[in-house]
Amino acid sequence: MKYAVIGEKLGHSFSKVIHEHFAPYKYDIVEVSPDDFDAFMTKRDFSGINVTIPYKQRVMEYLSYIDPMAQEIGAVNTVVNRNGVLYGYNTDFGGLKKLILRQGFDFTDQKVLILGSGGTSKTAFAVSKALGAASVLRVSRKGELTYENVLSLHADADFIINTTPCGMFPKNDTAAISLDGFEHLKGVVDVVYNPLETKLVRKAREKGIKGCCGLYMLVAQAVSASEIFLDASYDESVYEDTYKYVLSKKQNIVLTGMPGSGKSTIGKALSEKLGKEFIDTDELIIKNEKMPISEIFARHGESYFRFAETEAIKEASAKSGFVIATGGGAVLKKENVDYLRSNGKIFFLNRPIEDILPTDDRPLSSTRADLQKRFDERYPIYQETADEEIFVDGKVENAVRRIEETL
């Protein structure tokens, strides 16, 4: 192993995809247990490593040299082995700074709350100070400022930065804090990058507050780490190019629309064209329930079906880099849309109702009258919940091309 990221649990990691896109080396994902960490670092069988949770502070005791910035922050995320001597750096600082500035946030004279007390929280503290924040406060489970009392003490906060793993895959539906009551918030930054949109950032945007997650930070710190590994310099364009590449690989393409609008057919064609795996949430429901949808309705009713549908959507949405075709009523529940949006871009396939035929296997759209009723009820919801609206003229290749043009 020459180059890798190490951490305790790395099933969520995008680092291999990132490094191998722009760098001229193979990059590995290496999980190291706390009990094995000492042996790993003592052996020094690597040229360069990135270090993530929970070792950004612990790794410092194995280093012969620590960059002054990393020393001041108190956390190292990049280690390079130079003839058996280990040197430590913090490229998270530059990555987080780039993320904040890219979002257009101005921390000058602002109050910033940092959620978490680990190595990344130290980086966030240093970045906030460097960007001119007047007050930077750490919030944690224990201590003077906790998740329970922070609202009563600092409801006037201007920015919140989450550095905890709350909201990270596979616990996508969690958040370290509620944003209710923070009436002065101008922005939320979440260093979590999987899912692409965390619950915390989604709740911020629902309140009209700008928010961003950590994918761009991850890319930026990786490019800087690679420069240290190779003693090289990359063009500034590498940051944006790599970010767009990884986003295209990891973002789900979600298809919504009426039954018969072509979601499955178009989804399979997209899957083949883009090299993404395909999943149909209706098929997933059938697999999970071990019976056809018409039978689920007949035996258990619509309310049970909607519960099963939400469970299938939750399962499918936790994946990344998929094409997902949804059932016609999937967007009727906000919970479903939230799950789909966490890792995906939603496309409403708008096929003229007169081109859609009712069929017996669709319990709520088995007649022309039922189909028209469903269309009238759902059409504004399809439009409201979609990122893009795609006109479907019956030609699969045209729909595929129109979706590709928006990616």
DSSP-derived letter for residue 344 is E
- State the maximum Cα–Cα separation within the chain, in Å, rounded to a whole number: 76
Tokens of 290: 């071990």
- Phi/psi of residue 381, each to 5°? -75, -40
DSSP 237-298: HHHHHHHHHHHHHHSEEEEE-STTSSHHHHHHHHHHHHT-EEEEHHHHHHHHHTS-HHHHHH
Selected catalytic residue, list 16, 26, 56, 249? 56
The enclosing H or E element of 59 equals none
In contact, 194 and 224? CB cutoff 8 Å: no
Spatial distance between the Cα atoms of 306 and 394, rounded to a whole number of angstroms: 29
Q: Enumerate the β-bridge partners of residue 190.
A: 162
Count of residues in the chain:
407
- Provide φ and ψ at 380, rounded to 5°: -65, -30
Please tell me the distance from the alpha carbon of residue 202 to that of residue 238, in angstroms, as a whole number.
28
* 273 in active site: no
**Residue 134 C-alpha from the chain's centroid:** 30
Burial label, 309 (beta-carbon count in 10 A; 0-12, 13-18, 19+):
buried
DSSP 146: B
Which residue matches tokens 């690989």?
Answer: 249
Annotated catalytic residues are 56
